[in-house]
Structure 1
Amino acid sequence: MIGRLPLDEQLAALKSALSRNEVLLEVLDRAAALNLPNWYLTAGYLFQTVWNVVTDRQPTSGIKDYDVFYFDDRDLSWEAEDAVIQASREAFSGLPAEVEVRNEARVHLWYEQKFGVPCAPYTSTEAAVDSFAATTCCLGVRLEPGGSWRVYAPHGLSDVFNLVVRPNPVLAPREVYEAKAARWQQHWPELTVLDWPAASTSPPAPGLDNRTA
């Protein structure tokens, strides 16, 4: 069972699984060419590709879009972020999926209006990934110069391979977690969805933090 392997073997298994998604590989290549500061491909397309591989589905099954996060706090205006978004639309044109590019340095400016809770300014893209509603979502990958993969996985990879959805009650409200989990379970009924905790819990054990493959 992959979720019980040593971390270095899990990392190799992650790269193997993600490499079966040809769209994902193309997004990685094109994102690297944009030279965005502190960028990662992150969110659903990563762990959902693993879920598809583990459950013998097509690697792209159920994946609607791909997210590229970057961090640039030199200019927090919408105009600066929009210029990057417009450039990325040209870079990712022709792909059979939508790719969204967002500056995580600006999230605190709009988060409360959208989700109803305040968000302190992030200090990095990694900090933004840390705040996803489920620990399973806390995963980022990018290409480094030379072609190696940089993986950020603060909660490790065991839950990803074991099809476990675990809440991460650090920012997103309970209803966001439960809505996402319900939507995922409709497409991947094999998932084990854990309940939102009644009280705050201690921090999880360290996982994979900026490993390369």
Structure 2
Amino acid sequence: MIGRLPLDEQLAALKSVLARNEVLVEVLNRTAERGLPNWYVTAGCLFQTVWNVVTDRHPTSGIKDYDVLYFDDRDLSWETEDAVIKAADEAFTGLPSEVEVRNEARFHLWYEQKFGVPCAPHASTEAAIDSFAATTCCLGVLLEPDGQWRVYAPHGLSDAFNLVVRPNPVLAPRKVYETKAAHWQQQWPELTVLGWPSESATLASSSS
């Protein structure tokens, strides 16, 4: 199993698997041309491509959209972010799936209103990825100027390849995790979804 390989071999396997999703590759290429600061293609389009390949589905099966996150704290106005989004919409014209572009420097401005818990400002796109509801989601890929793939995976890759969904209780509420996990398991019933940790387990982990 790929999830039991050494990390360097898992990274090579990840690139090979993701490259089978032609939409994803095109999103990576077009995003690289945009010159966005601290950007990554991230979240569902990555780990769901892995799930699809591991379970012998089409690489794009069940992928709703492709998330592109960037970080620019020089101007936190909605108007500036909206201008980037509109320019990106033009850049991604012709792709068969929606591409959602967001500035993670503004994340804290709307998160509490939407999810009911406060969020401190992120310091980078990597910090935003660290806060995703499941550790399996914490994955980002970008193209360096020389065309090399750069992978950000703070929790490793084994869970993605092993079809394990593990909670990441650092920001997102339990309900958000459980709703997402239930939706994923409907699409990919082969998944093993781990439960939300008990309060005592969370406290023990935070104090260690």
> Which TM bucket (shorter chain)?
over 0.9
Aligned match of 2:65: 65
Task: Show the counterpart of 1:123.
Answer: 123
Unmatched runs of 5 consecutive residues or more in structure 1:
204-213
Q: Distance in 1 between matches of 2:48 and 2:89?
A: 23
Within 2, Cα distance between the matches of 1:37 and 1:144?
Answer: 12
2:139 corresponds to 1:136: no
* 2:74 paired residue number: 74
Structure 1 Cα separation of the partners of residues 80 and 143 of structure 2? 24
Matched, 1:202 2:205: yes
Query: Who is 1:3 aligned against?
Result: 3
1:168, 1:33 → 2: CA distance?
32
What letter matches 2:160 in structure 1? V
Give the corresponding residue for 1:161: 161
State the 1:202 CA deviation: 3.1
Measured in 1, the distance between the counterparts of 2:82 and 2:164 equals 36
Matched, 1:94 2:94: yes
SS in 1 for 2:190: coil
Question: Secondary structure of 2:129's partner?
Answer: helix
Cα shift at 1:160: 0.3
Would you identify which runs of 4 or more consecutive aligned residues in structure 1 move more than 2 Å? none
Post-superposition Cα deviations, 1:105-131, rounded to whole Å, max 9, x if no partner, equal 000000000000000000000000000
1:9-43, Cα deviation, whole Å (9 max, x unpaired): 00000000000000000000000000000000001
Q: Give unmatched runs, 5+ long, in structure 2.
A: none
The code of the aligned residue for 1:79 comes to E
Q: How far, CA to CA, are the matches of 2:136 and 2:129 in structure 1? A: 11
TM-score, normalization by structure 1: 0.94
Amino acid at match of 2:7: L
Distance 1:196 1:145 in 2: 40
SS at match of 1:195: coil
What is the DSSP-based 3-state SS (H/G/I as helix, E as strand, rest coil) of the residue aligned with 2:205? coil
Question: Displacement, 1:137?
Answer: 0.1
User: What secondary structure is seen at the aligned counterpart in 2 of 1:13?
Assistant: helix
User: Residues of 2 paired with 1:69 and 1:26: CA distance?
Assistant: 16
- Partners of 2:121 and 2:111 lie apart in 1 by 10
RMSD: 0.8
Shift of 1:6: 0.5
SS in 2 for 1:110: helix
Q: Secondary structure at the match of 1:123?
A: coil
More helix by share: 2
Amino acid at match of 2:2: I
Task: Quote the sequence identity (%).
Answer: 82
Alpha-carbon distance in 2 for matches of 1:36, 1:138: 20
Partners of 1:44 and 1:30 lie apart in 2 by 18
Rounded to whole Å, the distance in 2 between the matches of 1:17 and 1:91 is: 25
